Amino acid sequence: MAQNIILVTTDFTKQADNALQHAFTLKEKINGRIVLLHIVSSDIELESAHQKLQNVIDETEKNYGIKISELIRKGNIFDDISRVASEIGAKFVIMGTHGVSGLQHIFGSKALKVISTSKVPFISITKAPEKNGYHKIVMPFNLNKEPSGLLTLASEIAKSFDSEIHVIGYGVNKKGDGKYLEMITNYLESSKLKYIIEQKESSSNFDAVVLEYAKGVGADLISISNIQENVFNLFGGFEQNVIANKQGIPVMVVNSNSFGIK
């Protein structure tokens, strides 16, 4: 059986170590193979980067019995993470971030563009996993629009971990006919997944509503699609606010144009 490649980016920080810990958990459930990527800006850094990666690889095998592969690319994080992920056929990219303040550095306009145009889902991590897996997954939807492929991918993860999916949606009111809500419900039913649906009438401050709900149910993962059609609002848009959540809940971002409901 072919293995699913999990690409983990590292800058040898604690946050990168946390991302690798999440990859260990995901690897077990999806028949995964971990590739650890470090990007250097010049040839002079190659030898040092190789040694640092090898130290991580040796320690991982010694302490966890997990084999991982190294990959070094000369370039920059803004252009090459997504490119490498596509080249090697990665299933997921897992990236450690530095929380809210770090987003201004790591998730600048170029990085947001990389995530929103990538064909490979990004999982943003700030903390080490508190549980062994993603047991509660929160998925926000605009219920007046056809569901994106986020539903397919998040459901695949939910099946692997026997997770409970929490759909939180807005848009169905007296003027809405509810057909997209019915589509989501039918998909979850046919997939035999455990789920809860929470409806909100207004989209105002929907990011805050989603984060408060996720905190309340003890979510292990928030899964969002690029609902802005490849345009992230750098100065406080829904996606950035969810990614930068203070609770440190991992966030999976899926470009809605790259996946479809099957």
User: Residue 82: which CATH number?
Assistant: 3.40.50.620
Chain-centroid distance, C-alpha 172: 27
Q: How far lies 42's CA from each of 47, 114, 210, 212, in Å?
A: 11, 21, 42, 43
On whether both 177 and 228 belong to a single domain, the answer is: yes
* Structural tokens at position 25: 């958990």
pTM, whole model, 2 decimals? 0.87
Q: Classify 139 in phi/psi space as left (phi over 0), alpha (psi -120 to 50) or beta.
A: beta
pLDDT digits (tens, 9 = 90+) for 49-107: 999 999 999 999 999 999 999 999 998 877 788 889 999 999 999 988 765 554 445 55
Domain end (from 125, 144, 175): 125
Per the listing, tokens 């040796």 go with: 58
235 pLDDT exceeds 50? no
Q: CA-to-CA distance for 174 and 177, rounded, in angstroms?
A: 8
Q: Structurally, how many domains does the chain consist of?
A: 2
**Would you say residue 262 lies in a domain?**
no
On whether both 118 and 140 belong to a single domain, the answer is: no
Domain that includes residue 27, residue range: 4-125
On whether both 107 and 140 belong to a single domain, the answer is: no
- Of 111-115, 140-144, 203-207, minimum mean pLDDT range: 111-115
Whether residue 162 contacts residue 137, with contact meaning beta carbons closer than 8 Å, is answered with no
On whether both 160 and 83 belong to a single domain, the answer is: no
Q: How many CA atoms lie within 13 A of 243 on its CB side?
A: 33
Q: Mean pLDDT throughout 99-120?
A: 58
**Would you say residue 235 lies in a domain?**
yes
Per the listing, tokens 């492929």 go with: 149
Q: pLDDT band at residue 202, thresholds of 50, 70 and 90?
A: low
Query: How much of the chain, in percent, has pLDDT values that exceed 70?
Result: 81
**Would you say residue 44 lies in a domain?**
yes
On whether both 165 and 236 belong to a single domain, the answer is: yes
